[in-house]
Amino acid sequence: MLNGILKTVQLVGSASRARLCSAPTELVGGISFKLSEEQQSLQELARKFTADEIVPVAAQYDVSGEYPWPVIRKAHSLGLMNLSLPKWLGGLELGVFDGCLATEEFSFGCSGIQTAILGNGLGASPLLMFGTKEQQKEYLGRLIEEPLMCAYAVTEPGAGSDVAGIKTTAVRKGDDWVINGQKMWITNGGVANWYFVLARSDPDPKTPAGKAFTGFIINRDTPGVNPGRKEDNLGQRASDTRGITFEDVVVPAKNVLGTPGMGFKIAMGAFDKTRAPVGAGAVGIAKRALHEATQYAMQRKTMGVPIAQHQAVAFLLADMAIGLETARLAVWRAAYEADCGRRNTYYASVAKAFASDVANKSASDAVQVFGGNGYNKEYPVEKLMRDAKIFQIYEGTSQIQRLIISRELLAAAMSVKS
């Protein structure tokens, strides 16, 4: 019954938002916030899919931790996965912005399921940017043909933020490379068909990061590849996160991405395309939090009136709205910069840092609006709090984002004559 309410409630929410934005179709003052017809169709399809296929099952996947294969297969059959893959491969070649639209919608339903779907975007990004046509055809083509997953395997037990500190080794043996090491917290780690793996190819500790690492594409079924157990996480429990051991894994030279030594640049380059969508995932949580809190506040009565009429509660909602609107626009700007072909590092970090904070605050405030009920699993908001936390950690911690932003702005400031 609750799921039925959720479904109705989400659709009503979109109607009220439509009332708020009857925007003009042309550029006004040189800028437009209006989505194109195609983007609106994509958003509508993603929204409908979320209401019909994700929302009704989200709570159950959160409890069981099972991988949401049925949802993934349905999304794949509708063309809602792998949006950015090129047309010559059979993809839709949509931009980062379009990916953000879909991601926000899925995340509204369940950010764990959304992360499972988006994991492909992160894994595919290095190949999209640096892969040869043969590599793209082989590995990205697979993703289009069937609902297969891939994963981005860089983080290790001893190195997350400190990518340059990873210890997985890649040693040349004839034409092949032999990979040894351990990766950790890899999204889709247990279900991936292939991995993008970063390993240290130059053992000399004095070699700079920009030359010491190599990126590889490694098939799951290569001997020596051992995903560990599925990790039992606080939130986004439908997503599959694992450690992976690489024991004398032999990788042919044709599976090297770019050239040996280029790995660090490739691994970091992927983030410019994926940070905005991760921000969009956070925006989805913020939107859901505001939505649930608003509906509850209109129904729950205390002191003889719906609690929405108490300013203390109404102000909580207002602050959630402030966060939601601004986080979304920050994400849109970052995505737009990427789609314009520009290096969007600064905007991507701003968007991701801000949106993840907004998601966490909104989710926490939503629990607050629900009061005692919010703390309980019968109501949907405690899950939002648990799901939101990871947005401040993965894809570059909030601290790393601030490092990036401060570096970028100081570099810009230093390049201007005072």
Partner 1 sequence: YIHIINKADMAASKGLKILVGCKRVIDYAVKVRVKPDRSGVVTEGVKHSMNPFDEIAVEEAVRMKEKKLAGEAVAISVGPPQSQETLRTALAMGIDRAIHVEIPLAQLEKLQPIHVSKLLAKVCESEKPDLVILGKQAIDDDCNQTGQMLAALLDWPQATFASKIEPSQDSKQLRVTREVDGGMETIDVSVPAVVTSDLRLNEPRYATLPNIMKAKKKPLAKMSPDQLGVDLQPRQEVISVEDPPVRKAGAKVESVEDLVGKLREKGLVK
12 is a site residue for partner 1 (CB under 8 A): yes
Is residue 15 involved in binding partner 1 (CB under 8 A)? Answer: yes
The torsion angles phi and psi of 260, rounded to 5 degrees, stand at -55, 135
Among 2, 28, 38, 318, binds partner 1 (CB under 8 A): 38
Distance CA 281, CA 360 (A): 12
Of residues 93 and 162, the one with the C-beta less far from partner 1: 93
Please report, as residue ranges, which positions from 204 to 243 form the binding site for partner 1 (by CB under 8 A): none
Under rule CB under 8 A, residue 48 binds partner 1: yes
Beta-bridge mates of residue 171: 178
Find out whether 396 and 275 touch, Cβ atoms under 8 Å. Answer: yes
CA distance 157 to 406: 27
Residue 194: CB partners within 8 Å, gap ≥ 6? Answer: 123, 139, 142, 150, 151, 217, 218, 219, 220
Output 11 or 322, the one with its CB closest to partner 1.
Answer: 11
The Cα–Cα gap between 268 and 146 comes to 28
* Greatest Cα-to-Cα distance within the chain, rounded to the nearest angstrom: 79
Helix (H) or strand (E) holding 182: strand 176-187
Give the 3-state secondary structure of residue 376. coil
Find the part of the chain contacting partner 1 (CB under 8 A) among 72-80, 113-121, 313-321, 396-404.
72-80
Interacting stretch for partner 1, rule CB under 8 A, among 7-15, 183-191, 219-227, 314-322? Answer: 7-15
Q: 11 vs 410, which CB is nearer to partner 1?
A: 11
Q: Which 87-146 positions form the footprint of partner 1 (CB under 8 A)? A: 92
- Nearest-Å Rg of the Cα atoms of the chain is 22
Which region among 20-28, 111-119, 245-253, 350-358 touches partner 1 (by CB under 8 A)?
Answer: 20-28
Out of 58, 72, 83, 381, the only residue in the binding site for partner 1 (CB under 8 A) is 83
Positive or negative, the CA dihedral 19, 25, 31, 35 is: positive
- Residue 146 annotated as catalytic: no
Which is the catalytic residue, given 104, 156, 337, 395? 395
248 interacts with partner 1 by CB under 8 A: no
26 binds partner 1 (CB under 8 A): no
- Asked if 45 touches partner 1 (CB under 8 A), the answer is yes
Cα distance between residue 278 and residue 401, in whole Å? 13
Residues at the site binding partner 1, with contacts judged by CB under 8 A: 8, 11-12, 14-15, 18-22, 37-38, 41-42, 45, 48-49, 77-80, 83, 92
